[in-house]
Amino acid sequence: MSESGKKLEKVSPEVAAKATRRRFSQAYKEQILNEAEQCTDPGAVGELLRREGLYWSSLHRWRRERREGTLDPKQRGRKPLPNKQETQELARLKRENARLAERLRQAELIIEVQKKVSEMIGVRLPEQPD
């Protein structure tokens, strides 16, 4: 027990079970890129990377992103859904279209039956252009 009366807990030297992805701020990336540009001695960039615990691929990617103008943090994850009202209107119009298509199919079927019945009883229908 320590002097304050509390028991000290031992910290485990084991590696954490779940690794976490490192995230770098915009300012940090800019700082590292500026420092890397100022390195003129052979091996100075490697020393910078070792000191900061970075990989060459990260530095290379940040340089390319800065050159392309996309160094800002990217939005990750699912893209936002389109306008909810537009989605609902589209769904309503699709249902209405399916309903009207079914009514048209039924109407054409009734017309075909009427034509056959009129032929059977001998009633001549006037010709209609298509």
Give the C-alpha separation, 66 to 79, whole Å.
24
Give the C-alpha separation, 76 to 16, whole Å.
25
Q: How confident is the model at residue 47 (pLDDT cuts 50, 70, 90)?
A: very high
pLDDT tens digit sequence for 85-130: 888 999 999 999 999 999 999 999 999 999 898 888 887 766 766 6
Q: Which of 20-24, 55-59, 67-71, 102-106 has the highest mean pLDDT?
A: 102-106
For residue 42, give the 3-state DSSP assignment: coil
Query: How would you classify residue 98: left for phi > 0, otherwise alpha for psi between -120 and 50, otherwise beta?
Result: alpha
Residue 60 · residue 51 · CB < 8 Å: no
Number of residues in the chain:
130
